[in-house]
């Protein structure tokens, strides 16, 4: 079922949709705010296609058009794109977020935001939504508030739209929220969390051991909710 929208003017927005719970929540937040959303899904050669498949399903459930862009990064440098590298598993919640793990993909959000900015400018969209989070996260430098403040400046100075005064806003509605707060918000918005996928390893079932699975489980536990994706695997 498509989400309920506010009765506000339908400005255009590009939503970076990964298939995980954060990006799905950002999409439904944008829709509730009255934006007319187009989802941008990036196939960047990640270890599995579950993310991309999940993102497509979420976009359909929300009634939003989507673009899938294939982006090949032959330089590798991440456990998410190079199967020769090991994905960390079994780390304690206290260690997650300390330092930058091997699952960091070099400049990933910079590349993604550049693509989203191009799509937004070409299509006349006024905003870009990304589900970045700097509280319960894996320690990636491109998920922090200072980074997005500077990327907003890039959007203003580096595009025809920005130079001519048509601002394209980069909106990070979840940046300072815990996973539990994000999940509670998503539940209120009607986010179909059963369609989302967070596990770094893919497979038929979430591994429950990688950093992403552990942060997701922590969020649902603290929110007092059962993860519906565990019932649909």
Would residue 5 count as lying in a domain?
no
Would residue 17 count as lying in a domain?
yes
Would residue 151 count as lying in a domain?
yes
Phi first, then psi, for residue 13 (nearest 5°) are: -145, 145
Q: Which residues share a beta bridge with 43? A: 70
pLDDT digits over 176-219, tens only? 999 999 999 999 999 999 999 999 998 889 999 999 999 999 99
Beta-carbon neighbour count of residue 215 at 10 Å? 22
Residue 201's CATH number: 3.40.50.620
pTM for this one? 0.93
| Domain count across the chain | 1
Range of the domain at 42: 12-227
Nearest to 230 by CA among 183, 196, 187, 191: 196
Would residue 119 count as lying in a domain?
yes
Would residue 61 count as lying in a domain?
yes
pLDDT value of residue 76: 82
Phi first, then psi, for residue 86 (nearest 5°) are: -90, 135
pLDDT digits over 112-147, tens only? 999 999 999 999 999 999 999 999 888 999 999 999
Extract the runs of DSSP E, i.e. beta strands, from the chain: 12-16, 36-43, 66-70, 127-129, 169-171
Residues 229 and 206 sit within 8 Å (Cβ to Cβ): yes
Would residue 2 count as lying in a domain?
no
Nearest to 145 by CA among 130, 156, 131, 134: 134
**Which token pair is 210?**
């990688």
Would residue 96 count as lying in a domain?
yes
Phi first, then psi, for residue 186 (nearest 5°) are: -65, -35
Would residue 4 count as lying in a domain?
no
pLDDT band of residue 7 (cuts 50, 70, 90) is very low
Beta-carbon neighbour count of residue 93 at 10 Å? 12
């Amino acid at each position: 079922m498509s989400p309920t929208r506010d009765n506000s003017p339908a400005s255009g927005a590009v939503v970076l949709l990964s298939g995980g719970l954060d990006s799905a929540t950002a999409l439904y937040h944008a829709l509730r705010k009255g934006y007319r959303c187009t989802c941008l899904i990036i196939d960047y050669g990640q270890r599995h296609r579950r993310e991309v498949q999940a993102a497509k399903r979420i976009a359909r459930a929300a009634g939003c058009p989507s673009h899938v862009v294939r982006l090949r990064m032959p330089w590798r440098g991440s456990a998410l794109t190079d199967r020769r590298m090991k994905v960390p598993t079994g780390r304690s919640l206290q260690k997650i977020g300390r330092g930058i793990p091997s699952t960091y993909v070099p400049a990933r959000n910079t590349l993604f935001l550049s693509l989203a900015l191009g799509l937004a400018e070409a299509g006349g969209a006024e905003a870009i939504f990304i589900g970045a989070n700097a509280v319960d996260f894996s320690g990636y430098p491109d998920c922090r508030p200072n980074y997005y403040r500077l990327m907003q400046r890039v959007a203003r100075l580096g595009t025809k739209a920005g130079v001519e005064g048509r601002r394209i806003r980069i909106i990070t509605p979840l940046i300072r929220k815990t996973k539990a707060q994000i999940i509670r918000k998503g539940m209120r918005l009607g986010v179909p969390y059963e369609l989302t996928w967070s596990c770094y390893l893919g497979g038929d079932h979430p591994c429950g051991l990688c950093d992403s699975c552990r942060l997701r489980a922590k969020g649902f536990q603290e929110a007092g909710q059962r993860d519906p994706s565990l019932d649909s695997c």
